Amino acid sequence: MQIDVEREGSVVVLSPVGDMDVTTLPDFESRLEALTGEGVRAILWDLRGVGILPSTALGFLLDARRRLAKVGGHMALAQANRLVRSTLGTMGVLDVFPVFETREEGMRHLESRLTA
Beta carbons of 13 and 105 less than 8 angstroms apart: no
CA distance 67 to 39: 13
The per-residue pLDDT for range 62-110, each reduced to its tens digit, is 999 999 999 899 999 999 999 999 999 999 888 898 999 999 999 999 9
- Whether 40 shows a pLDDT value over 90: the answer reads yes
CA-closest candidate to residue 14, choices 64, 54, 52:
64
Average pLDDT, the chain: 91
Residue type, 56: T
**Residue 102, helix vs strand vs coil:** coil
For the segment(s) 2-115, the CATH number from 3.30.360.10, 3.30.70.1350, 3.40.50.300, 3.30.750.24 is 3.30.750.24
Residue 43, pLDDT score? 96
Pairing of strands 2-8, 11-17: antiparallel
Chain length of the chain: 116
pLDDT band at 50 (very low <50, low <70, confident <90, very high): very high
